[in-house]
Structure 1
Amino acid sequence: MQEFWEGQSGHKYGPESPQRKNMIKQVDRTIGYLRQRIKESGLESNLNLIITSDHGMETVIKTNEIHIKSVKNFTFKDIQFELLDYGPNGLLLPKEGKLEHVYSVLKNAHPNLHVYKKADFPRRFHYANHPRITPLLLYSDPGYVQFNKGEHGFDNEAMNMKTIFRAVGPAFKQGLVVEPFESVNVYALLCELLGITPEPHDGSLDAVKPIAVLSCLGSLRVPGSSTRNVWRDEEGHGS
């Protein structure tokens, strides 16, 4: 199941807006209904439920926008291809012979804008090593963007970019709060639960071992009568 209205309200009104908070309440009611129906259907002992999302959201600082087109000595006439029209990230393909000029005029254009050549882009983003990525990459600090009230796609180490992970079912320990782990590991976990051979990926089952029932490791999809559940509330407390 995917619920996207909460994200849309964050983009339109901002992540701290009353509209988004009301939408979160609606999502909470939906999850409550789902868990109640699971219980009434007698599925608690053999159904694993995971609740997570693909990212957090940051409030946009509209009073200090980054306008690339206003940078001194920069012109889009030097650009063969650009992707700058949405969010905090940007891709630029300068015309032949213009790479160094474009890089030099943009790299110090704004204190909250970071401009990198492809080879220098931080490796922790796992992003630039692909032939479709352009020679110049841009990203802004959390909150600095040209469009929208709320946005995502900022540095994933920023707290507001982090998301939640809640799980309940026979494959998970009960009342457990663990250290944060990267969302890329959820894919490996889901494949193990479903008995699916995963495609090549950057995740690891080792990262999610602390949340799993030990007897289920290596065969998480097989429920056992002695397994326990994990659930955490909005503040992350176990129950």
Structure 2
Amino acid sequence: MRKLASAIVVVACLWLQACAGLPHRAPEPARPLVLISIDAFRADYYDRGVTPRLKALAEGGARGTLRPSFPSLTFPNHYTLVTGKVPDHHGIVANNMYDPTYPGANAAPALAWFDKTKNADGVWWREAKPMWTSATQAGLKVDVVFWPGAQAENDGMRVDYAPDFQKALDSRGRADLLLQRLDQPKRPDVFILYIDAVDEAGHKKGPDSPEVNTALAEADAAVGHLLDGLKARGIDANVIVVSDHGMISVSKDRAVYISQRLGDVPPDLVADTQIPSFASKDPRYDLVYYGAVAMINPRPGYGDALDKALIRTKPDHMQCWHKGDIPTRLKFGSNARVPAIVCLGDPGWQVGGLAPLGTDVGNHGYDPDTPEMTALFIANGPDIRRGVSLGRFDNVDVYSLEMKLLGLKPEPNDGSLKIVGKALRK
């Protein structure tokens, strides 16, 4: 018997050693997770009475409002929602940006929201690990429709499904892409959906327009369509619906132009053709981003002129800082991708370069404490308490809820469960 017992112990030890070398796979979540973003769904849009499916979802679960991270732009805040890190820490500091670690000052690769090839380049997204990468590494199946960054490889992993962005595809069509995946032999454990109809209408027609209400109804119907499809297939999921930021009315008459602050362009200066199409045509500086917030890199020999024009003279309707002097509460400026000077327009004011700003009558990117930037949060499902009001909290906290619902250990992040954890049943 002793010999037999010893043999069993030896075999058990060898088995444990072998298993120790296998990659860790977390148990499948008790419930699938559905994460939906309705871009630019301002928190008070909920009260317009045109989103009955979202209203029912909120009343049957938890509701709050989100303080976006600075800058209150689409790419930075979508990555915050799935990493729990502020943009300064996850590296997506704007919708368009340079990375100075690449060789060549002006020829540096530049991320641009309109360039799907660069959006899928993992180099831009490598400074933080998103929820979907952790889930994939744990053996969970993840399908993502159009969420920024989802096509990129991260930590050696890619999600199971992340189709190319199709701008013309309406909200219901995007939901259908996920529903089609439910009929695969192995259903996804995590469903992630991005809807931008409300953002499009808000920019083009303004937040108070009938077109925004129409877009809200479209997005609401798409959410309902997706949830109905899950129910028809017997899938009882935890659902989180969020937005990245709000929207405020703007006008081309409420604008500050950097080139006007500097004075006329000297005739002997020739525009640098290496400057990306989204940047300023004024060769004295690179305008990496413009709008509610502007991000500027002075060209050689013009640093002092820009300091005088933008910082020392304190122009009306905007505040400008060197990246190292940005107010601490904005948690921005330490990342290498943040340009040398950052200017923030007063609410409703925009900052441009040389060329006139476009015709948009709605915008975002402002101070996160601007009421119109406040975003939507709703959670519902078997693991979510009913009738919970969370109030306003930082959007870095949403990631912690996602990871808790998936049963995964979160990566180091800037959020917590202190507030959003009150939505959990246990």
**TM-score, with structure 1 as normaliser:** 0.78
Aligned-pair CA distance for 1:110: 3.6
Larger mean CA deviation between 117-126 and 69-78 belongs to 69-78
Instruction: Tell me, yes or no, if the aligned pair for 2:288 and 2:297 is still in contact at 8 Å.
Output: no
Paired position in structure 2 for 1:50: 240
Aligned length: 210
2:199 pairs with 1:7:
yes
What's 1:62 paired with?
252
CA shift, 1:64, in A, is 2.0
Residue number in structure 1 paired with 2:389: 177
Q: Taking every aligned residue pair, what percent have the same amino acid on both sides? A: 29
Match of 1:131 in 2: 336
Match of 1:150 among 352, 356, 362: 362
Give the distance between the partners of 2:303 and 2:253, measured in 1 at CA. Answer: 30
Does 2:410 correspond to 1:209?
no
Q: Summarize the alignment of residues 83-232 of structure 1 with structure 2, pairs less than 5 Å apart.
A: 83-84=288-289, 86-107=290-311, 108=313, 110-145=315-350, 146-147=357-358, 148-213=360-425, 215=426
Aligned partners of 1:135, 1:72: CA distance in 2, in Å?
Answer: 17
Shift of 1:35: 3.7
The structure whose RCO (Cα within 8 Å, separation 6+) is larger is: 2
Q: Which amino acid aligns with 1:102?
A: L
DSSP-derived class of the 1:164 partner = strand
Q: Does 1:22 align with 2:22?
A: no
Name the CA shift for 1:100/1:4 in 2 (closer, same or farther; >3 Å). same
Displacement after TM superposition at 1:72 (Å): 4.7
SS in 2 for 1:132: coil
- TM-superposed CA distance for 1:190, in Å, is 0.7
> In 2, distance between residues paired with 1:206 and 1:87?
34
Question: CA–CA distance in 1 between the matches of 2:217 and 2:256?
Answer: 33
Taking the aligned partners of 1:23 and 1:207, their CA distance within structure 2 comes to 30
Q: Cα RMSD between the aligned structures?
A: 2.2
- Contact in 2 for aligned 1:121/1:128 (Cα 8 Å): yes
Aligned letter for 1:104?
K
On the 8 A contact 1:73/1:105 being kept in 2, the answer is no
Aligned counterparts of 1:15 and 1:63: Cα–Cα separation in 2: 17
Q: 1:113, CA displacement in angstroms?
A: 1.2
Higher Cα radius of gyration: 2
Q: Residue 111 of structure 1 aligns to which amino acid in structure 2?
A: D
Tell me by how many angstroms 1:130 deviates: 0.9
Q: Give per-residue Cα distances to partners, 1:157-187, cap 9 Å, x unaligned.
A: 1111110111111221111112211111111
Aligned-pair CA distance for 1:114:
0.9
The SS at the match of 1:205 is coil
The 8 Å contact of residues 249 and 361 in structure 2, kept in 1 or not, is answered as yes
* 8 Å Cα contact 2:197/2:219 also seen in 1: no
Aligned AA for 2:305? H
CA offsets per residue over residues 52-86 of structure 1, 9 Å max, x none? Answer: 1111111113322222222254754432x3224x4
Q: Which residue of 2 aligns with 1:78?
A: 284
What SS is found at the alignment partner of 1:188?
helix
State the secondary structure of the residue aligned to 1:200: coil
Q: Give the letter for the 1:100 counterpart.
A: D
Q: CA deviation at 1:194?
A: 1.5
Q: Deviations over 1:30-61 (max 9, x none)?
A: 223334444454444xx211111111111113
**Whole-angstrom distance in 2 between the partners of 1:74 and 1:140:** 22
CA contact (8 A) 1:74 1:102 kept: no
CA distance in 2, matches of 1:29, 1:95: 49
Q: What SS class does the counterpart of residue 419 from structure 2 fall into? A: helix
Partners of 1:166 and 1:129 in 2: how far apart?
Answer: 32
CA distance change for structure 1 residues 30 and 50 in 2, over 3 Å: closer, same or farther? same
Structure 1 residue identity aligned to 2:297: L
User: How many Å separate the matches in 1 of 2:413 and 2:376?
Assistant: 21
> Is the contact made by 2:240 and 2:379 (CA closer than 8 Å) also made in structure 1?
yes
Deviates more, 1:199-208 or 1:5-14: 199-208
Distance in 1 (alpha carbons) for counterparts of 2:195 and 2:337: 30
